C-alpha cells in the first residue's frame, strides 16, 4: 500500500523504519512524475522540491514528523515561488512563510510542493489557472473542482496525505467532494490568514484536504490558534484532534435544509445523499427537515461581496511591486494598465470589474450594502436552525459530480452555481466539512456538515462517525473494474478497508 495515503500510513512506514522522511519526499516526487507523464498530465503542482531533502529542515518530533505535505499556491512559502496561479505573480517569491506553513514545519512536516489553483482562487474547476487546468484524478476528461483543485487531486491521487487549501466560497469542500476526499473549512478566525494571499478578506480561510477526517483533525490542531500577525485570528482553545473519535451518533440531530434539495440538484447526487441519510439514521442519528429560506440569495450575495473585496485587494498588483511587469511601458499609467491587462486572466478581470462597479458611487447602496443585509439574513437563518436543536446541518456538498473540462467555461453563472451549497458557511463564518459519501459510477460525491461557530471539535466528531457508518471506498482504491459511467449506480455503504 502507498505509505503516502494517510498520515497514519506515513507515520507507520516511518516508525517501522521502512522509509526515512527523505525517502517519503522522494516517493511523493516519483508519484507526481508518474501522474505528469503521458498525454493527460494531472498538473496538480506548480512547483515541487524534487527528490531528496535536507533532513535537518524537518523537526524530528511532532504530530507530522517526517510527513510530506502540499500547500496551495496562494499560501506564502519562502522556499517555493507563490504565484496564486496567476501570470501577474510569475517569478514572485515570498520573503516569509505563512503562519500555517510555519506551524506545519514546526510539527515536523516537509512541504513537498505548491499546488495549482484557479487564478487568485477564483473559480470552481481549476480551469482558470494561468498555468493550465488540473485534471480529475479518476477521470482525466473532467475537472477536479476548485479552486483548491491541485490540493484535492494531489491528495486523492496519493502524492501527499494532506494538503492546505483556501476557501472563500467553497474552494476546499467542492474540490474535496469532486475528488472523493475530506475537506475542512474552519471557522473564520480559527486559522491565521497571515501569508494567505487575500482574495476576499472577510470570507477567506485556510482549510485542509485529506483522505480521512482524523488526518484533517490532526492538521487543524497544528495550524489553528491565535496569531498576532492576523488581527481577525482569535485566541480560543484549539480543537483537539483526539476528540473526533469520541462521539456517539445517537445523541446527534442532523438538519437537512429543504431548500438544498432543489437548486439544480443532480438526481444521482440526490440518490447518493439519500442513501447516506438512511445509513446515518440506521446508526442512530436523528434527521430533521429544516428551512433556510435565504438560501437562494446566497450566490448573488456572495458575487457582490467577494468581487467587491477582490477589486480592492487586487489593486496592489500594479507591475511596480510583485512579479510581472509589461515590457517597455511609455508612462507610469501605461505600465499599470498593460501589466494588469497582460498579467490577469479573464475571470479575475471580470471580478475586478464587477467589484469596482458594485462599490462605485450610486451603486454602493443598491448592491454592496444590500448584499451585507442579505449576508446577515443568511447568518441569522443558520443561527435559528442551530438554536432549534440541530447539531449539524447535513447537505450534498455540490449539486453535481465532477463535470467535464470545458463544460461550464462559456457560462460563468453556471460555474458560480457549483458553490450554491457551500457559500453560506463562508458568508456566516461558520465551520463546515465535506466528506465522501458515495460514488456515481466512478465519480465521487460529497456530503457537507455545517456547525455553529467554533464547534470544529464536535463537527469533526460527527464527520468521523459518518465516515465510519458510510464506509466510503474511493474509486482509485477499489478493485472494481474501471468504467467512466457517470450515470452509474451509487455505491454508498459498501464497506471498505480502513486506512
Ligand atoms: N468558486 C468560488 C469563486 O469562484 C469560491 C472560490 C473560493 O472559495 N476561493 O469565487
CA atoms within 13 A on the CB side of 483: 10
Residue minimizing CA distance to atom 5 of ligand 1: 169
| pLDDT above 60 (res 493) | no
Residues that are catalytic: 72, 147, 171
Q: What is the pLDDT of residues 429-472, one digit of tens each?
A: 999 999 999 999 999 999 999 999 999 999 999 999 999 999 99
Tell me, what's the pLDDT at 492? 40
The rounded mean pLDDT for the chain is 93
Tell me, what's the pLDDT at 499? 33
Q: What is the pLDDT of residues 135-171, one digit of tens each?
A: 999 999 999 999 999 999 999 999 999 999 999 999 9
DSSP code string of 430-463: --EEEEEEEEETTEEEEEEEE-STT-HHHHHHHH
Ligand 1 atom nearest the C-alpha of 172 is: 8
pLDDT confidence of 264, banded at 50, 70, 90?
confident
Ligand 1 atom nearest the C-alpha of 199 is: 9
> Cα of 199 to ligand 1 centre, how many Å?
9
The best mutation among 419, 422, 434 to test binding of ligand 1, ranked by most ligand atoms within 8 Å of the C-beta, falls on 419
Residues with CB under 6 Å of ligand 1 are 121-124, 147, 167-171, 199, 306, 419
Tell me, what's the pLDDT at 244? 64
Q: What is the pLDDT of residues 266-309, one digit of tens each?
A: 999 999 999 999 999 999 999 999 999 999 999 999 999 999 99
pLDDT confidence of 38, banded at 50, 70, 90?
confident
Tell me, what's the pLDDT at 490? 45
| pLDDT above 50 (res 117) | yes
Ligand 1 atom nearest the C-alpha of 167 is: 8
The pair phi, psi for residue 495, each rounded to 5°, is: -70, 140
- How many CB atoms within 10 Å of residue 228? 10
| pLDDT above 90 (res 263) | no
Give the pLDDT mean for 419-425. 96
Residue minimizing CA distance to atom 10 of ligand 1: 122
Helix (H, G, I), strand (E, B) or coil at 470: helix
Identify the weakest region by mean pLDDT among 314-318, 336-340, 408-412: 408-412
CA distance 190 to 419: 22
Between the alpha carbon of residue 220 and those of residues 62, 97, 208, 425, 491, the distances in Å are: 14, 17, 7, 18, 30
Tell me, what's the pLDDT at 367? 95
| pLDDT above 90 (res 254) | yes
CA distance 356 to 363: 10
Contact by Cβ (8 Å): 212, 496 = no
The best mutation among 73, 123, 167, 418 to test binding of ligand 1, ranked by most ligand atoms within 8 Å of the C-beta, falls on 123
Whether residue 147 has a cis bond before it, omega within 30° of 0: yes
Tell me, what's the pLDDT at 387? 98
| pLDDT above 70 (res 496) | no
Give the pLDDT mean for 407-424. 93
CA distance 138 to 267: 21
Distance of CA 407 to the CA centre of its chain: 21
> Cα of 124 to ligand 1 centre, how many Å?
6
Using H for helix, E for strand and C for coil, what is the string for 242-269? HHHHCCCHHHCEEEEEHHHHCCCCCHHH
Give the pLDDT mean for 407-435. 95
Amino acid at each position: 500500500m502507498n505509505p503516502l495515503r494517510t498520515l497514519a500510513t506515513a507515520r507507520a512506514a516511518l516508525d517501522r523504519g521502512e522509509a526515512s522522511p527523505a525517502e517519503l519526499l522522494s516517493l511523493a516526487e516519483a508519484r507526481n512524475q508518474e501522474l505528469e507523464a503521458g498525454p493527460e498530465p494531472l498538473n496538480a503542482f506548480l512547483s515541487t522540491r524534487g527528490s531528496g531533502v535536507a533532513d535537518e529542515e524537518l523537526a524530528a518530533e511532532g504530530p507530522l514528523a517526517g510527513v510530506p505535505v502540499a500547500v496551495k499556491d496562494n499560501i506564502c512559502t519562502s522556499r517555493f515561488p507563490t504565484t496564486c496561479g496567476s501570470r501577474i505573480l510569475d517569478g514572485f517569491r515570498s520573503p516569509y512563510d505563512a503562519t500555517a506553513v510555519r506551524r506545519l514545519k514546526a510539527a515536523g512536516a516537509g512541504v513537498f510542493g505548491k499546488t495549482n489553483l484557479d487564478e487568485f482562487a477564483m473559480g470552481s474547476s481549476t480551469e482558470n489557472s494561468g498555468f493550465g487546468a488540473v485534471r480529475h484524478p479518476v477521470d482525466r476528461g473532467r475537472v477536479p473542482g476548485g479552486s483548491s483543485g491541485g490540493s484535492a487531486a494531489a491528495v486523492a491521487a496519493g502524492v501527499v496525505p494532506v494538503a492546505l487549501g483556501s476557501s472563500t466560497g467553497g474552494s476546499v469542500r467542492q474540490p474535496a467532494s469532486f475528488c472523493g476526499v475530506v475537506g475542512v473549512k474552519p471557522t473564520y478566525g480559527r486559522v491565521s490568514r497571515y501569508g494567505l494571499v487575500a482574495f476576499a478578506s472577510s470570507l477567506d480561510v485556510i482549510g485542509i484536504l485529506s483522505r480521512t477526517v482524523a488526518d484533517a483533525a490532526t492538521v487543524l490542531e497544528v495550524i489553528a490558534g491565535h496569531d498576532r500577525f492576523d488581527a481577525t485570528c482569535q485566541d480560543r482553545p484549539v480543537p483537539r484532534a483526539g476528540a473526533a473519535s469520541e462521539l456517539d451518533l445517537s445523541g446527534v440531530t442532523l438538519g437537512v435544509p429543504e431548500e438544498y434539495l432543489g437548486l439544480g440538484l443532480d438526481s444521482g447526487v440526490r440518490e447518493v445523499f439519500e442513501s447516506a441519510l438512511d445509513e446515518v439514521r440506521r446508526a442512530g442519528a436523528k434527521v430533521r427537515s429544516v428551512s433556510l429560506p435565504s438560501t437562494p440569495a446566497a450566490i448573488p450575495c456572495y458575487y457582490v461581496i467577494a468581487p467587491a473585496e477582490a477589486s480592492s485587494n487586487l489593486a496592489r498588483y500594479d507591475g511596480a511591486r510583485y512579479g510581472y511587469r509589461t515590457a517597455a511601458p511609455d508612462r507610469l499609467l501605461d505600465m499599470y494598465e498593460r501589466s494588469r491587462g497582460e498579467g490577469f486572466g479573464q475571470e479575475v478581470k471580470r471580478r475586478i470589474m464587477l467589484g469596482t462597479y458594485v462599490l462605485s458611487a450610486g451603486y454602493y447602496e443598491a448592491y454592496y450594502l444590500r448584499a451585507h443585509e442579505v449576508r446577515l439574513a443568511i447568518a441569522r437563518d443558520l443561527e435559528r436552525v442551530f438554536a432549534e436543536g440541530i447539531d449539524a446541518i447535513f447537505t450534498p456538498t455540490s449539486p453535481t459530480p465532477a463535470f467535464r473540462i470545458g463544460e461550464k467555461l462559456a457560462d460563468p453563472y453556471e460555474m458560480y452555481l457549483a458553490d450554491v451549497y457551500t457559500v453560506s458557511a463562508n458568508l456566516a463564518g461558520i465551520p463546515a466539512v465535506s466528506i465522501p459519501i458515495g460514488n456515481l459510477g466512478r465519480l465521487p460525491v460529497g456530503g457537507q456538515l455545517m456547525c455553529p461557530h467554533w464547534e470544529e471539535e464536535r463537527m469533526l466528531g460527527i464527520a468521523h462517525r459518518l465516515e465510519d457508518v458510510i464506509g466510503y471506498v474511493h474509486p482509485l482504491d477499489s478493485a472494481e473494474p474501471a468504467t467512466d459511467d457517470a450515470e452509474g449506480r451509487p455505491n454508498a455503504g459498501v464497506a471498505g478497508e480502513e486506512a
